[in-house]
Each structure stands twice: as structure tokens, then as C-alpha cells.
Amino acid sequence: MNASATTMSDGPVLSIEGLTVRAKDRLLLDGISLDFPPHSLTAVVGPSGCGKTTFVRALNRMVELTPGLRVEGQVHYLGQNIYDPSVNPVLVRRRIGMVFQRPTVFPTSIFENAAFGLRIVHAEDEEVDRAVTEALQQAGLWDEVKDDLDRPALALSGGQQQRLCIARALAVRPRVILLDEPTSALDPAATQRVEATMLGLKERYVLILVTHNVGQAARVSDRIAVLQTGKLIEVGPTEDVLERPREKFTEQFITGRFE
């Protein structure tokens, strides 16, 4: 019996308690508490301006890059509060990766994009090769780019670029991937590929997907969390929330009466 090992594998990877984010004159997030178990994909939905993006940005301390925002509450990553003064935000971001709304490839080759996070920790070349290959495979991009790894990433299509951004986040072997509306700049075909990639990834990672698209949440998520003006008003298995919403607001939102 190894109690601690059991706890590590079964307990939540991320555990949020009373997460509150304040701007000067208003509350962006209001006391959110939520756990994220391993191998899960949680969709965070809500109308524009409800705090979805602020929410994911608070989970890897990106929110601190916006001047004037104050964070209260705790975010435990494997039991450790990432907002503890002793924690270096740079190290937090190596464990909790992020993919942005727009594909944000760097002006360098496909390979070096995927290798970015490994280069900054001065990984051995062999290790970089292996991790990049694996990450590109997991992101579902390997077959399309394996012969062109030295080509500039900017020559890829938008959907390929976004999957490269996912691969780049995966290459540093994080436990958690935050996806902030990753398909909002993509066409339907590219969106479908990225969604397929997300489905494949939830076997291995904790995925937290921000989306304003209820259909996307229905297609890929296990669980839906609904935000309304910074408050978490409902959370539950995807089917339950979509078919039997408890809150009036949730019902209105999923039936498209809010955008």
C-alpha cells in the first residue's frame, strides 16, 4: 500500500479554491472553486466578457502580466499553491501550458517552434528530437510536416499553425494544457482537426478549454463549467449540463439566447 502514490494519481491535478481576480473598479472572477481530475477535458463556457479568458489566465499566472489585476484565493497544482510567494511563475508555466486564440507561431522553423520550451531548459539534442517528434504526433501534425521540419512555421496553414502551437505546449511535457478559444480563428475544417487533436489528448492530460461555442463543448468535453459575470454558476458532466441544465441562465446560454 502506498497511500501517497494513490492520492497523487487519483486526486485532482488542479484544485482551485476561492479564486478571485479584481481589476481596479470591478470583479473579474468571483470566488471560483473547482477541481480538475486527471485525464479530463473541461469546457469553460459563457457569454463574452464573463471572465473565461481571465479564468484560464489565472491558472498559469499569465493574469499577472496584465497590470492592475489582483489575484486572491488559491490554485493548487498537485497540492502546491502556485500563488505561494516562493513559487516562480516561470516554473508554473512549464507545468501548465497554454494555447492562445490566434495561432502564435514564432518566426522560425517548424522544428524550432516545437522545440522552443526545451531549448530554454537546455535539453540535450537527442531529448529535443524525441520530445518534438512525440509532441507533433500527439498534436496530429506529424504526418503533415515530418518531411518539412526545417521549413518556416509561418508557411503552414492556420489550422496547422494552431496544432503546432499545441505541439509546442506538449513538448515540455506539462500536466495541464489551457486552451483559450483555440479554434476561434480557424475555418470549420481546421476546427475539426484541432477538435480531433483535443479528443486524443485528453487521455494523457488535463485539458481546460475555453470556448463560446456550445457545440464544440458538446463534441469534445467531459464536463462543462458555466461562467456568468465572473461567477461559476453551474458545473457538471457535459450531457447533464446540456440536457438538464439546473440554472435558467445555462439553459438560455446553451439554446443560444446569449452570445
Partner 1 sequence: MVGDLAQSEPAGPEPLPPVLSPRSKGTGPRPSLGAIVRRAVPFVPAFVPLAIVVAIIVTLIIETGLTHLPGLLGSNFNPTPSTGAPSWGIMVFVVGSFLTAVPALLLSMVVGLGIAIASVTYLPRFVSRILDPFVDLLAGIPSVVYGIWGYLFVSTYFGNTLNPFLYDKLSWIPGFGGQTPPGSGLGIPISVFILTLMALPITTLLIRDALRTVPRDLWESGLALGATRWEVLRRVSIPYGRAGILSAAFLGFGRAFGETVAVAMVINIEPVYPHNVFQGTGTIASLMFALLDSAYGNYQFLAALCYMALALLAITLVVNVVGRWSISRLSATEIAGL
Judged by CB under 8 A, the stretch of 28-36, 47-55, 100-108, 235-243 that binds partner 1 is 100-108
Nearer to partner 1, 53 or 238 (CB): 53
Q: Which is nearer to partner 1, 94 or 204 (CB)?
A: 94
The strand pair at 27-36 and 176-180 is best described as unpaired
Q: Per rule CB under 8 A, is residue 172 in the interface with partner 1?
A: yes
User: How many residues contact partner 1, by CB under 8 A?
Assistant: 30
Does 117 help bind partner 1 (rule: CB under 8 A)?
yes
Q: How far is the CB of 64 from partner 1 (least distance, A)?
A: 10
Nearer to partner 1, 104 or 229 (CB): 104
Taking the complex as a whole, the smallest distance from the CB of residue 224 to partner 1 amounts, in Å, to 24
Site string for partner 1, 43-62 (x = CB under 8 A): -----------------x-x
Among 21, 165, 179, 208, binds partner 1 (CB under 8 A): 165
Query: Least Å distance between CB 241 and partner 1?
Result: 28
- Residue 167 near partner 1 by CB under 8 A: no
Toward partner 1, which CB reaches closer, 8 or 91?
Answer: 91
